[in-house]
Amino acid sequence: MDFLFYQNSIYFLIFLLVSGGLLLFPLLRQQGKGNTGLSVKEAVNLVNRENAVFVDLRPAQSYRGGSIPSARNLPADEFEQKAGTLPRNKPLILVCDTGRDSAKMAGVLRGKNTENVYTLAGGMGAWKADGMPVKQHA
């Protein structure tokens, strides 16, 4: 244990503890928030494996301009009133323009004891950037 008393060893141990803490901090912060943002690939896999449902939170006009082909539109301003119409036996993937609004709405659903709620990280922007199909509505 004499090595602990050498000045260089103490600095090294302090460096290890601080750097380890900095590496773990983002992971611990994510778990605390219940962050369940899925990449586009993870979302598609969830739909294929568990018949997840995409819920588009954008206004109707944005939805008509282009959406995920199987998405159901439920605008964010009507979300709390109509959240009861969503299926409870399937995972839900909430989609907005950037992924920020969907995180808020996911919190609303979790507050109502809905377990399988996910968000699409990056929203429709990420979907389009990955070259995924977009459906135009009349």
pLDDT at 2: 59
The half-sphere exposure of 92 on its side-chain side, counting CA atoms within 13 A, is 28
* Separation between Cα atoms, residue 6 and residue 92, nearest integer Å: 56
| Residue 60 pLDDT | 92
Strand 117-120 relative to strand 72-73, pairing: unpaired
Judged by phi (left if over 0) then psi (alpha if -120 to 50, else beta), residue 133 lies in beta
The model's confidence at residue 35, banded by pLDDT at 50, 70 and 90, is low
- Nearest CA among 46, 101, 100, 106 for reference residue 76: 101
Tokens linked to 100: 């920020």
- Report pLDDT for 92: 95
Question: Which of 5-14, 21-30, 47-56, 76-85 is the least confident region?
Answer: 21-30
User: 113 or 102: which carries more pLDDT confidence?
Assistant: 102
**Residue among 120, 116, 115 at smallest CA distance from 103:** 120
Strand-pair partners of 53 = 92
